[in-house]
C-alpha cells in the first residue's frame, strides 16, 4: 500500500475506537524498530519527523528510508507526518517532499518559541490547510501551548500556562478546517514532564473531555505523551547515566484520552530512553566492543519492544488489515467537495 493520509488512519481509528501512536524518527534503526513493531502487532502507524530530524537526515535520507519501509512492509498502513511545522514554508517543503501529513504549529510564532495570537494561528493554519488539502495531505493544528522544549522547539514552562480553551478550540476548527487538533492539557515535550506522578492538578484530563464533548467529531492529538517508565530510567542510571527523577503521562491516562476522542498519541522520549539504556548496557558490560552493530542492534530491539507495547496499549494492534489506502488524489477530491466555510 502507498504511504497513506493521516486523515484516513484517524477516521478508521475513530470508527474502531482506538488511538494510533505517532513515533518520531531520525535514522534507519528507529524506522526499522517501528516497522517491526507494526508487523509484530499488525498495526497501522504514523512515523513523524521534526524539523530537527529533517535537517539531521538531510530530508532525502529520511524520505527514502520511508519508501524502503513502505516497500518492505506493504501490509502496514503508513503515514509520514511533519511534526511541529513552524511555518507555511516548512509544511510546504514537507508536502513537496512527499509527506502525507503535516502539522502546522501556529500556536507559536515562526521562531518556534514565542506564543502567537489566535488570529495568527488561524491565518497560517488555514493557509496550510488550503495547500495541503489540494494534494490530499492531512493537516494537524494546535491550539493552546504545550510545555517544555524539544529539538529547539517549544515555549518552555510547565504546560499549564496556556491550557486549551474549549470555545477557542471550536472556533479554531471551524475557521481552519484542520483534520486533527493538538491540545494543551498540561503535557510537555522532553523527559522532564512532571516532578511527581501527575494528578488532575497538573494533567488536565477533565479539560480534554470537555473539548471532546464540545467537538465530538474532531480527532484530538496528545503531544508529549511518553510515559517515561521507571524501568527505562533505571537501566540508564544503572549503567552510568544521570537522569533526574521524572514522571511522564501514565498509559491509563492516555487510554482515558482515547476513550474521549484522542486518535493520535505522540511518543518520542520513551524510545530515546530505550535506545540509550540498551547502548549504555553494552558499553558498560562489554567495553571491548567497538562494532556499532553490537550496540545498535540491542538498541533497535529495545525500541521495538516499547513501540509494540504502546501499539497494544493504544488499541491499534490488529487493525493494519482493516482497510485499503485511499489515494491522495481521491482525498483531494473529497476535500474539494467540502470546502472550509
Closer by beta carbon to Zn ion, 12 or else 140: 140
**28-41 and 269-285 helices cross at what angle (nearest 10)?**
110
CB of 223 to Zn ion, least distance (A): 3
Closer by beta carbon to Zn ion, 193 or else 223: 223
Closer by beta carbon to Zn ion, 1 or else 149: 149
Closer by beta carbon to Zn ion, 22 or else 258: 22
Residue nearest to Zn ion (CB): 223
Q: How many residues bind Zn ion (CB under 5 A)?
A: 1
Please pick, from the candidates 7, 193, 219, 223, the single residue that binds Zn ion as defined by CB under 5 A: 223
Closer by beta carbon to Zn ion, 51 or else 223: 223
Active site residue 83: yes
Closer by beta carbon to Zn ion, 207 or else 223: 223
280 near Zn ion, rule: CB under 5 A: no
Please tell me the distance from the alpha carbon of residue 320 to that of residue 9, in angstroms, as a whole number.
10
* Catalytic residue chosen out of the listed positions 83, 105, 151, 165: 83
Phi/psi for 243 (5° steps) reads -80, 140
Q: Burial, 60: exposed, middle or buried (Cβ in 10 Å; 0-12, 13-18, 19+)?
A: exposed
Interface residues for Zn ion in 25-64 (CB under 5 A)?
none
Please tell me the distance from the alpha carbon of residue 273 to that of residue 285, in angstroms, as a whole number.
18
**Chain center to CA of 292:** 28
Q: 118 near 168, Cβ under 8 Å?
A: yes
Q: Which of 30, 21, 33, 27 is nearest to 301 (CA)?
A: 33
Closer by beta carbon to Zn ion, 34 or else 265: 265
CB of 40 to Zn ion, least distance (A): 26
The residue whose grid cell reads 511541529 is 84
Q: Is the dihedral of CA 204, 209, 215, 217 positive or negative?
A: positive
193 near Zn ion, rule: CB under 5 A: no
CB of 325 to Zn ion, least distance (A): 26
Q: What are 120's three cell numbers? A: 495568527
Please tell me the distance from the alpha carbon of residue 251 to that of residue 173, in angstroms, as a whole number.
27
CB of 188 to Zn ion, least distance (A): 9
From 112-120, 223-231, 237-245, 308-316, span contacting Zn ion (CB under 5 A): 223-231
CB of 45 to Zn ion, least distance (A): 17
Q: Which of 176, 110, 185, 178 is nearest to 145 (CA)?
A: 185
From 57-65, 218-226, 315-323, 331-339, span contacting Zn ion (CB under 5 A): 218-226
Q: Burial, 150: exposed, middle or buried (Cβ in 10 Å; 0-12, 13-18, 19+)?
A: buried
Q: 169 near 143, Cβ under 8 Å?
A: yes
CB of 183 to Zn ion, least distance (A): 11
- Report the first-to-last Cα separation within the chain, whole angstroms: 33
How many helices, marked H, and strands, marked E, lie in the chain? 13, 8
Q: Which of 267, 318, 339, 329 is nearest to 43 (CA)?
A: 318
- Active centre residues (catalytic): 83
Binding site for Zn ion (CB under 5 A): 223
Amino acid at each position: 500500500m502507498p504511504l497513506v493520509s493521516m486523515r484516513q488512519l484517524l477516521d478508521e481509528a475513530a470508527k474502531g475506537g482506538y488511538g494510533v501512536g505517532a513515533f518520531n524518527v531520525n535514522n534507519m534503526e528507529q524506522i526499522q524498530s517501528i516497522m517491526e513493531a507494526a508487523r509484530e502487532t499488525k498495526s497501522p502507524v504514523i512515523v513523524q519527523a521534526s524539523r530537527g530530524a529533517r535537517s539531521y537526515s538531510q530530508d532525502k535520507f529520511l524520505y527514502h528510508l520511508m519508501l524502503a519501509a513502505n516497500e518492505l512492509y506493504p501490509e502496514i498502513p503508513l503515514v509520514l507526518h511533519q511534526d511541529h511545522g513552524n511555518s507555511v514554508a516548512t509544511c510546504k517543503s514537507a508536502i513537496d517532499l512527499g509527506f502525507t501529513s503535516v502539522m502546522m504549529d501556529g500556536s507559536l510564532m515562526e521562531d518556534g518559541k514565542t506564543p502567537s495570537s489566535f488570529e495568527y494561528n488561524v491565518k497560517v493554519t488555514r493557509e496550510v490547510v488550503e495547500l495541503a488539502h489540494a494534494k490530499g495531505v492531512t493537516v494537524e493544528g494546535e491550539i493552546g501551548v504545550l510545555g517544555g522544549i524539544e529539538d529547539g522547539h517549544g515555549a518552555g514552562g510547565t504546560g499549564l500556562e496556556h491550557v486549551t480553551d474549549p470555545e477557542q478550540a471550536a472556533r479554531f476548527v471551524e475557521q481552519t478546517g484542520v483534520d486533527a487538533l493538538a491540545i494543551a492539557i498540561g503535557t510537555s515535550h522532553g523527559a522532564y514532564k512532571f516532578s511527581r506522578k501527575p494528578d488532575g492538578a497538573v494533567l488536565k484530563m477533565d479539560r480534554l473531555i470537555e473539548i471532546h464533548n464540545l467537538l465530538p467529531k474532531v480527532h484530538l492529538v496528545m503531544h508529549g505523551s511518553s510515559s517515561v517508565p521507571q524501568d527505562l530510567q533505571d537501566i540508564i542510571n544503572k549503567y552510568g547515566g544521570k537522569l533526574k527523577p521524572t514522571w511522564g503521562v501514565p498509559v491509563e491516562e492516555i487510554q482515558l484520552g482515547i476513550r474521549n476522542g484522542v486518535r493520535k498519541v505522540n511518543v518520542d522520549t520513551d524510545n530515546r530512553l530505550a535506545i540509550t539504556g540498551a547502548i549504555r548496557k553494552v558499553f558498560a558490560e562489554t567495553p571491548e566492543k567497538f562494532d556499532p552493530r553490537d550496540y545498535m542492534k540491542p538498541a533497535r530491539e529495545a525500541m521495538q519492544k516499547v513501540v509494540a507495547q504502546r501499539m497494544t496499549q493504544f488499541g491499534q494492534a490488529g487493525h493494519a488489515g482493516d482497510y485499503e489506502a485511499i489515494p491522495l488524489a481521491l482525498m483531494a477530491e473529497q476535500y474539494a467537495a467540502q470546502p472550509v466555510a
